[in-house]
Amino acid sequence: MRQAALLGKPDTKRTHYLGRAAREAGLHVLFLDWDRWRKDFPKGKIFLKIYPPEWDCCLLEQLPWLVEDYMRRLEELKRLEECQDVRFFNHPNAIKALLDKKGCKEQLRKAGLAVTEELEQDIIQTPEQLLTMMDRKRIYQVFIKPVCGSGAAGAAAFRWQPQTGKMILYTCVGEMPGDGGKDLVNTKQLGRLSDAGQVLLMLEKLLKLGCIVERWYAKASHQGYSYDLRAVVQDGRTDFCLARLSKGPITNLHLNNHPLELETLGLSGTVIEEIQDLCRRSMELFPGLRSAGIDILLEKGSLKPRIIEMNAQGDLIYQDIYGANRIYRRQADMIKAACREEPS
């Protein structure tokens, strides 16, 4: 039988609630801290679940470096598969594939799955390039987000009226106080810029981060709020699905938006089946991926589901852990079963 282990930070909500679920399942889990995992890593057969490191840095310019550092750590962990017969809850290759938002979306698109449309394959680097592309495609509202990042870090929604020159930018990005606007941080509060000069200056700074530009779709609505969905899918099954309701264009729940469980939206069985099928098929494209958080948009009117993005470590849903803790209970069962199984 394998030893279950969790690599992360012992004092986070993720480790606390998964640990609780493991104890309820009669599963002993060894906790490994990123700060000393090499020293503490046990010998023998291990089944490992990986959580990302916790970084103190809040500067958006550091995002590419932080993700690159995490990629190197994942590559090092992957080598344990051969030298120590370590197995993984989510394989490092699968985690890396989903960290690459651009590559992940392209793989989904090539498989014929509905995704939110990326408007330009090349990285747009300046506001001038962005406005030229929008005018050429006659699309005047877009989402902009860094190639790497989460929690709306660096994300923005941009609307432009070329006839009048009017511009509006919604973003959680702000300037670090006291440094003359050189460094950008994630304020975790949605702001609105409408002065064209300020908008263009912020766009210039954002685009230097290396960003994806996507079509801004009109979303489905419920009781006056637009919404999208976060589904947590594990071993092909949607274990939890939450609507994120917002009056604004960015729906992340830490921005004081409103959570609502899928069942309360009144969606038809056909639409729910389409959502679940899209999630299941997307998971099948990434070998070694057993659990992921999938963000899904439902188009206004048709309710056609489209994948916004996938996150191999998007399993922390407060509305679940403070309730039935279904996601981590299922994970505990999956880990327990994997520790008992040995290939013939």
pLDDT of residue 252: 76
Question: Considering the domain 100-116+218-312, what is its CATH architecture?
Answer: 2-Layer Sandwich (3.30)
DSSP character for 138?
Answer: T
Q: What is the helix, strand, coil percentage profile of the chain, to 5?
A: 35, 30, 35
**pLDDT for res 123:** 74
The structural domains of the chain, with segments of one domain joined by +, span 3-90+331-340, 100-116+218-312, 127-215
Question: Quick one: CA torsion of 242, 247, 251, 255, rounded to 10 degrees?
Answer: -110
Domain 3-90+331-340 has CATH 3.40.50: yes
Average pLDDT per 10 consecutive residues for the chain, totaling 344 residues: 92 93 97 94 94 76 85 95 93 95 94 93 87 94 83 82 95 73 76 94 90 92 94 96 88 76 93 97 98 97 96 92 96 96 58
Q: How far apart are CA 334 and CA 324, in angstroms?
A: 17
| Range 174-189 burial, b when 16+ CB lie within 10 A, else e | bbeeeeeeebbbbbee
Distances (CA, A) of 324 to 233, 239, 287, 290: 16, 12, 29, 21
Strand, helix or coil for residue 300: coil
- Distance in angstroms (rounded) separating the CA atoms of residues 322 and 271: 28
Burial class (CB in 10 A: 0-12, 13-18, 19+), 153: buried
Q: Residue 150 in 3-state DSSP?
A: coil
CB atoms within 10 A of CB 66: 16
For residue 28, give the nearest of 236, 342, 339, 341 by alpha carbon.
Answer: 339
What is the distance between the alpha carbons of residues 186 and 173, in angstroms, rounded to a whole number?
A: 5
Token pair listed for 74: 């994942």
- Can you tell me the distance from the alpha carbon of 100 to that of 98, in angstroms, rounded to the nearest whole number? 5
User: What is the pLDDT at residue 149?
Assistant: 65
CB 189 within 8 A of CB 255: yes
Q: What is the pLDDT of residue 344?
A: 42
**How does strand 46-50 pair with strand 87-88?**
parallel
Each residue of 138-152: b (16+ CB within 10 Å) or e? Answer: ebebbbbbbbbbbeb
> Which one-letter DSSP state was computed for residue 303?
-
CA-based Rg of the chain, rounded to a whole angstrom? 21
For 5, counting Cβ atoms within 10 Å of its Cβ (0-12 exposed, 13-18 middle, 19+ buried), the class is buried
Strands 46-50 and 3-8: parallel
